[in-house]
């Protein structure tokens, strides 16, 4: 199992646990808010690199 698959499986497990313990709107805020906050903490050069890598993988 690759590292990315382990992270994805862990994320799904945490999401399901949160869905049981919290209302659905709180889970939605966490699921959308954490990656958004992480992206906003990047400086402009890191954001450019992230967008460039994403485009390259889409156009393989």
pLDDT in tens, the chain (60 residues): 788 889 889 988 988 888 888 888 888 888 889 889 999 999 999 999 988 887 766 665
pLDDT at position 4: 83
* pTM of the predicted model as reported, rounded to 2 decimal places: 0.58
What is the rounded CA–CA span in Å between residue 12 and residue 19?
A: 10
pLDDT at position 22: 87
The dihedral of CA 16, 10, 53, 58: what is its sign? negative
């Amino acid at each position: 199992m690759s590292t990315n698959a382990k992270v994805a499986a862990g994320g799904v497990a945490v999401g399901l646990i949160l869905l049981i313990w919290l209302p659905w709107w709180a889970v939605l805020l966490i699921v959308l808010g954490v990656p958004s906050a992480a992206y906003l903490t990047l400086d402009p050069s890191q954001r450019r690199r992230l967008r460039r890598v994403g485009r390259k993988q889409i156009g393989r």
